[in-house]
A and B are shown apart, each in its own frame.
Chain A
Amino acid sequence: MHLALIRLSFQRQLTYRAAALAGLVTNAFFGILHAYILTALFGARDNVAGYTIPGVVTYAALTQALIGYIAVWGWWDVVNSIRTGDIGGDLARPVDYFTYWCMRDIGRGLAQFLLRGVTIMFFFALFFPILVPPSAAHWVATIVSLALALVCSFAWRFLYSLSAFWTQDAIGVSRFAMSLATFLSGFLMPIALMPDWAGSVMRLTPFPAMVNTPIEIYLGIVPADRLAFALAAQAFWFVVLAVCAQAVFALGVRKLVIQGG
């Protein structure tokens, strides 16, 4: 049944292909600018904290490719479900509410990954020297890491969407939560290029698991013998975020029931 949820959500996204592809031109342009900016920062240096110039160009392409997949700039499914009261029907389903949306988000993410992510990477590969993972182990780890990045980002998006139980301004709260994630996840700039103190602080949060970890694995900045650890850290953060999300959700539902829906 979980697979059925994923498949339905995936097919729905494929049906609205035009909508899924909207924004690709803008994404590509932002990616190109980001690549030039990072390259100019490097100047004459050829390796900074594991990043090379082709490495940062690939980083710029990857961040743009991930936008649709992990819904960097917005995801309102759960906010809308709570606001409109559809949650009543959702709660009556034979699947737990968190799992239900998680499955649907996996389907959504897969479709976005194939339609937008792959397209962006091919586009960049045409015009820039794009790197690929350095070894078979890195390839496999990249795929696992991307899957974990999706569910981590889902758990975070689910968590901030729950603010809709308590406030009319859930969209405002969500925008803050999204901006915070773009910064701490390494979406705006690679964490390795931050000052060491800032990078260490950021790595103590769950956000790098959503963007920075899969990119560092893809680029081979994480050495082969640290791959398992990096993936385990992502899995750990997913569990933490999911437990928080379920706890907050339980509180929200109690409030909902008291109000009588």
Chain B
Amino acid sequence: MPRALDLYFRLVAVRVRAQMQYRVSFIMDTLGAAFTTFVEFTALYLVFTRFGTIGGWTIGEVAFLYGLVETAFGTMDMLFSGFDPSFFSAQIQRGVFDQFLLRPLGLPLQMFTAEFVVRRIGRMLNGAAIFALALTLTPVAWTAAKLLYLPVVFVSAILFFGALFVIGATICFWTVESIEAINVFTYGGTYMLSYPMHIYAEWMRRFFTFVIPSALVIYYPALFFLDKPDPFGMPPFMPFLAPLAGAGMLAVAFVFWNAGVRSYASTGT
């Protein structure tokens, strides 16, 4: 295990150094990634000044969701770059994945080091800034339990979003092309989770709680941090299912992944 970690850091360092060779390009891309989220949030913020609340939530409370989602997704997007379905489908098409299977190195380690897109840090930092703004706008009554649980939720959300990438990549074993529907859950999911779940249709809320448990990693924990009552009258342990949903989803994703690897037939490229 220490050897694997050592290798991981070395291989990631290679990816990072490679991207740093084009410094101006790197800075532009990082700022660009941050700018996209920045204008989206700014547009929302400006419109909020006219309305005041959305479904009873203030801008500070929405920023709490928004910042948490963006930071976790941005971090995941960097750590799981190798599993990014659009990147991975290209690997399959070019036959690069076949080489992975031949190397005397564990497949997961190779997947996690195949790519490491540093510019995603832009989205992450912008998310962190929105989260910081949330904390100044909305007074969170911090307790020891909340302080301990926040990093747990953050990691759970990263694992959860990572699981979606792994599932999206696995589907490429059969379809070769990255399927578009996965974007609904990844990019569409981050957009959806940036707002309180009760503003959406009942079927959406149910689907994203019980089938794809996105709401368990963001919305329910946020109810706990912000001391908001649960409008759906779900059991009081709902906010604490985040680690189960995150780790469980990733475990399921890797079971699926292993099945995909076993049934993989090369494109012959």
A binding-site residues for B, Cβ under 8 Å: 22-23, 25-26, 29-30, 33, 36-37, 39-43, 45, 48-49, 168-169, 172-173, 175-176, 179-180, 182-183, 188-190, 193-195, 198
A41-B54, A194-B50 as given contacts; A188 in contact with B32, CB under 8 Å: no
Chain B: number of interface residues, binned into ranges: 20 to 34
Q: Is the interface of A mostly helix, strand, loop or mixed?
A: helix
Give complex CA distance A173, B39 in Å: 16
Inter-chain contact A40/B199, CB cutoff 8 Å? yes
* Chain B 2-47 residues near chain A, CB threshold 8 A: 24-25, 28-29, 31-32, 35-36, 39-40, 42-44, 46-47
Inter-chain contact B184/A26, CB cutoff 8 Å? yes
The smallest C-beta distance from A182 to any residue of chain B, in angstroms, reads: 6
Chain A residue with Cβ nearest B37: A179
Contacting residue for A182 out of B28, B29, B39, CB 8 A? B39
Inter-chain contact A22/B32, CB cutoff 8 Å? no
Inter-chain contact A198/B46, CB cutoff 8 Å? yes
Chain B residue numbers with a CB within 8 Å of A182 are 39-40
Contacting residue for B32 out of A26, A43, A172, CB 8 A? A172
A37-B54, A41-B51 as given contacts; A179 in contact with B46, CB under 8 Å: no
Contacting residue for B192 out of A33, A43, A180, CB 8 A? A33
Inter-chain contact B46/A30, CB cutoff 8 Å? no
Inter-chain contact B199/A36, CB cutoff 8 Å? yes
Inter-chain contact B35/A48, CB cutoff 8 Å? no
Inter-chain contact A189/B47, CB cutoff 8 Å? yes
Inter-chain contact A26/B50, CB cutoff 8 Å? no
Chain B residue with Cβ nearest A172: B28
B191: interface (CB < 8 Å) = yes
Max chain A Cβ within 10 angstroms of own Cβ: one of B35, B43, B191: B43
